[in-house]
Structure 1
Amino acid sequence: MRPTVLLWDIDGTLLSTGGAGRRAMERAFARYADRRDACEAFSFAGMTDRAIIRTGLETVGREATEDAIDALLAIYVEILAQEMSLAGDTRVHAGVIEALDAAARRAKCAIGLGTGNVRAGAQAKLTRVGIYERFAFGGFGCDHERRDELLRIGAARGAAMLEAPLEACRVVVIGDTPKDIAAARAIGAESLAVATGTYALAELAACAPTHSFTDLRARGALEALLG
């Protein structure tokens, strides 16, 4: 059986935080730059945390230096922990638990994250719904600002866990945005797109993912995930 590395996106794919991430980012900008409206004009879907902050800083006319991004990220992570502790409408998407259970039973399968969230942000979100410990590794927004590069890092970590060469592994990126699909293609991975976020199934299918489903309960989704 071919070794398999699964890289899961978080927001819109694994769960919905009910807007906690955006609220935390808005509050962080309000504290740092006195501008809560810095991110009003663009969607966060598929963006890494560092890219969101860089875009927000440029929107309000502030220099997006690495030090400024790091400072704002630290504020964001602090506030996100508060927001997640209060969030009452956070939920895991349909079929996710069953898919994680099935993957855990599969031989030679490494279950990790491929997310634009920084590691601390990912932990805050997934701990809130009790699934953080299911992911042994990942590629995170603190590893790289570009989604394809953080996925490449995550894939390498998964292959190392399986004690297999990366080129011998089947890598599957599970996501809910066109950016997930494009990044998977850029690293030569399969993509499994789910319409559980802000994009409809037809919009995702138009981006030519390897597989696309309404959610992970759909017929054939588990088979596509596990190969």
Structure 2
Amino acid sequence: MERVRAPTVLLFDIDGTLVTTGGAGRRAMERAFEQTTGRRDATRFPFAGMTDRAIVRMGLRMVGHEDDDQAVDRLLAIYISLLGAEVDAASDYDVYPGIVRALDAAERTADTAVGLGTGNVREGARIKLSRGKLHQRFAFGGFGCDHEERAELLRAGAERGAAWLRRPRSECRVVVIGDTVRDVDAGLAIGAEVLAVGTGGEELEVLRARGASLAVRDLDEPGALDALLG
């Protein structure tokens, strides 16, 4: 008897999963902090898996500034104004192996919604993906402006993906594609499968131990597409 494939929502992380911006996001964030607080050293902590709002809030706290929502919004607006030039100037911007092939395959697969699940705010996501000609390939997403907690923004993305498919969320298979333990934790928290990739630098053994359904070097690895598309 032929297996019935569930309608599938794919939620891709951006940094370390789809593309590397060569540190453009960090440079823009450091410049935004310098303009706002006079301190370029506010963000001397790992960003991996954090949402933009959480990064800004932590940075403000580290330099003793108010970290209310208005302060976060002001600094994020400056960050966005600086990000495009940093991305354009990055000499080592790149789209990771297997990404275009995976997106092509997903677009050809019936009952598959291709979206983002990223800690970037929506405009930051657009800027980072546009250079690689990827932005228009995602119909929806869960973003860092939806929620500061990664699991909640993924939940928002999953709901939007189900709506795009015109199916109840409960009927959909959700797959989170990410490169950090925070991606794995958040995906598992919403009941999703997690396809973890090593392109962001995390050890595959660490991602597997955290509970990833599959951990691969990149999406060119044999079996990755089958796992992605079900």
TM-score by length of 2: 0.97
Equivalent position of 1:225 in the other structure: 228
Contact 1:16–1:93 (CA<8 Å) still a contact in 2? Answer: yes
> Are 1:79 and 2:82 counterparts?
yes
Equivalent position of 2:32 in the other structure: 28
Which aligned segments of 4 or more residues in structure 1 are displaced greater than 3 angstroms?
none
Equivalent position of 1:8 in the other structure: 12
Contact 1:28–1:79 (CA<8 Å) still a contact in 2? Answer: yes
Q: What secondary structure sits across from 1:196 in the alignment?
A: helix
Give the letter for the 2:93 counterpart: T
CA deviation profile, 1:11-38 (whole Å, cap 9, x unmatched): 0000100000000000000000000000
Distance 2:198 2:90 in 1: 23
Superposition CA RMSD, Å:
0.6
Distance 2:183 2:88 in 1: 28
Equivalent position of 1:17 in the other structure: 21
Distance 1:219 1:192 in 2: 13
Distance 1:45 1:63 in 2: 23
Equivalent position of 1:156 in the other structure: 159
Distance 1:131 1:46 in 2: 20
Give the letter for the 1:36 counterpart: R
Distance 2:48 2:11 in 1: 17
Match of residue 38, structure 1, among 42, 61, 64: 42
How is 1:5-154 mapped onto 2 (pairs within 5 angstroms)?
A: 5-40=9-44, 42-154=45-157
Distance 1:216 1:49 in 2: 25
Distance 1:182 1:211 in 2: 14
Q: What secondary structure sits across from 2:195 in the alignment?
A: strand
Distance 2:26 2:173 in 1: 33
What's the offset of the Cα at 1:198? 2.5
What's the offset of the Cα at 1:207? 0.7
Q: What secondary structure sits across from 2:6 in the alignment?
A: coil
> Are 1:186 and 2:189 counterparts?
yes
What's the offset of the Cα at 1:82? 1.4
Equivalent position of 2:199 in the other structure: 196
Equivalent position of 2:214 in the other structure: 211
TM-score by length of 1: 0.98
Distance 1:166 1:86 in 2: 40
Percent identity, aligned pairs only, is 60
Contact 1:45–1:198 (CA<8 Å) still a contact in 2? Answer: no
Give the letter for the 1:73 counterpart: L
* Long gaps (5+) in structure 1: none
